[in-house]
């Protein structure tokens, strides 16, 4: 092979490589244009792991605005008194799920699970009674919420205030505090 032939072969090889690169680039830009036009993830080229952003979920917790009604926080002795001598002015509400409630609850408490039934206090009195089998708590009573550790009870208290209940209280220590301090299960 002469140097001229090898130079021609090298030039041919370079031009072939150039042609493949150009074709690849043309196909890629065509695919990107098509994907943008269709705006569909099914039509876009696959992403390389380094190009992907990790998606995270953000959970927000918001307190009611400062102009809203406040919640009364109750402690073990107040709840013990309330459960041992029930009053017509207070309704003790366990917002845990029925399986948790059935495993043990504070005496006199009714069960309105906030996780599976968040709309409960927004129901009409008739729909509420159909769903739960007892009367909907009237707005003039103080609703005292508790759960297992205080998180769900806070959410339930906020929902009650949104529904227009003015007298709302929380037992933030909730079931864990009740058991720890010797409150017996029902």
Which tens digits make up the pLDDT trace of 165-180? 999 999 998 999 999 9
Domain-located, residue 28: yes
Cα→Cα distances 180→39, 119, 173, 174, Å:
57, 31, 10, 10
In this prediction, residue 159 has a pLDDT band, given cuts at 50, 70 and 90, of very high
The answer to whether residues 108 and 166 belong to one domain is yes
In this prediction, residue 71 has a pLDDT band, given cuts at 50, 70 and 90, of confident
Q: When comparing pLDDT for 184 and 105, which is higher?
A: 105
The answer to whether residues 120 and 32 belong to one domain is no
The answer to whether residues 31 and 109 belong to one domain is no
Domain-located, residue 106: yes
Q: When comparing pLDDT for 124 and 58, which is higher?
A: 124
**Phi, psi of 92, deg, nearest 5:** -85, 125
Is 147 marked active-site?
A: yes
Count of Cβ atoms closer than 10 Å to residue 128 Cβ: 20
The answer to whether residues 34 and 79 belong to one domain is no
Domain-located, residue 169: yes
As a whole number, mean pLDDT of residues 140-162 equals 95
Residue 110: which of 119, 120, 126 has the closest Cα? 120
Please answer whether residues 158 and 168 qualify as being in contact, where contact means their C-beta atoms are separated by less than 8 angstroms.
no
Q: How many domains does the chain divide into?
A: 2
Between CA 143 and CA 92 the distance in angstroms is 6
In this prediction, residue 66 has a pLDDT band, given cuts at 50, 70 and 90, of very low
Q: What is the pLDDT of residue 170?
A: 96
pTM for the whole structure = 0.63
Q: Which of 79, 93, 120, 147 is catalytic?
A: 147
Domain-located, residue 62: no
- Asked if residue 69 has pLDDT above 70, the reply is no
Q: Which domain holds residue 157?
A: 72-180
Say if residue 84 is exposed, middle or buried (CB neighbours under 10 Å; 0-12, 13-18, 19+): exposed
The answer to whether residues 77 and 26 belong to one domain is no
Instruction: Share the mean pLDDT of the chain.
Output: 80
- Asked if residue 24 has pLDDT above 70, the reply is no
The answer to whether residues 43 and 83 belong to one domain is no
- Asked if residue 116 has pLDDT above 60, the reply is yes
What percent of the chain has pLDDT above 90?
Answer: 54
Between CA 33 and CA 147 the distance in angstroms is 54
- Asked if residue 72 has pLDDT above 50, the reply is yes
The answer to whether residues 122 and 87 belong to one domain is yes
Domain-located, residue 114: yes
Cα→Cα distances 26→35, 45, 84, Å:
14, 14, 80
Please answer whether residues 101 and 152 qualify as being in contact, where contact means their C-beta atoms are separated by less than 8 angstroms.
no
As a whole number, mean pLDDT of residues 31-52 equals 56
As a whole number, mean pLDDT of residues 104-130 equals 96
The answer to whether residues 18 and 80 belong to one domain is no
Between CA 131 and CA 128 the distance in angstroms is 5
Residue 67, token pair as written in the block? 């102009």
């Amino acid at each position: 092979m002469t140097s001229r032939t090898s130079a021609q072969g090298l030039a041919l090889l370079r031009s072939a490589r150039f042609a493949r690169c150009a074709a690849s680039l043309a196909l890629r830009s065509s695919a990107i244009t098509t994907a943008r036009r269709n705006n569909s993830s099914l039509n876009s080229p696959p992403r390389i792991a380094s190009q992907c952003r990790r998606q995270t979920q953000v959970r927000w917790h918001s307190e009611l605005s400062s102009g809203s009604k406040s919640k009364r926080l109750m402690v073990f002795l107040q709840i013990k008194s309330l459960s041992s001598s029930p009053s017509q002015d207070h309704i003790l509400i366990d917002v845990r799920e029925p399986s948790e409630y059935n495993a043990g609850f504070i005496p006199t408490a009714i069960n309105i699970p906030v996780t599976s039934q968040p709309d409960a206090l927004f129901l009409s009195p008739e729909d509420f009674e159909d769903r739960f089998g007892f009367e909907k708590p009237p707005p003039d009573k103080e609703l005292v919420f508790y759960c297992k550790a205080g998180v769900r009870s806070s959410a339930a208290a906020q929902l009650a205030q949104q529904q227009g209940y003015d007298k709302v209280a929380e037992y933030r220590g909730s079931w864990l505090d009740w058991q720890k301090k010797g409150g017996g299960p029902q």
